[in-house]
Amino acid sequence: MRRAFAFLVVIQLLGCSPKPQPADDVFTLTSGVDVVSDALANQNAEISNVRISAEQDFYLVRARAYFYSSGAFDKPWVTLTKNGIATLNLGTSKNVVSHRSESLRDLVIRIDKNRLDAGTVLSVYNLDTSEVMANLAIP
């Protein structure tokens, strides 16, 4: 009985260990994609407002939507483009003690220009609510 309990404790602790991070020079789906800002939105603000703007070396995606209140944002990631469509995935970190209450949040996401070609459709997906927030044409 004690061995089984000790084994379960070890398995749980291993499950809680941080994910190994790839080297900086290794391409992953999170490469060139970062959260610039995350703030609670005015509760009277328009919901599900998503837009994109082109800067010199990057795109800025501004999104207002409901996300879980209890977590910081996981590093956003963009899928590889297929059939002219790429998906930006946004969601909060999940943990054992997190709750499912939602709050209206304003996000600004930076995407390096080398990740998306002009004319590509960027689908913005909310992992917390499992909803497509918008489909945006890359300028």
Task: Give me the residues of the chain with pLDDT under 70, please.
Answer: 1-27, 95-99
Predicted pLDDT of residue 24: 58
Rg (CA), the chain: 18
- Provide the token pair at 126: 């909310």
Kindly give the pairing relationship between strand 121-126 and strand 85-90: parallel
Give the sign of the dihedral formed by CA 24, CA 30, CA 31, CA 33. negative
Look at the block and give the residue holding tokens 């499912």: 100
pLDDT in tens, 88-111: 999 988 766 656 788 899 999 999
Specify the pLDDT at position 71. Answer: 74
pLDDT score of 63: 94
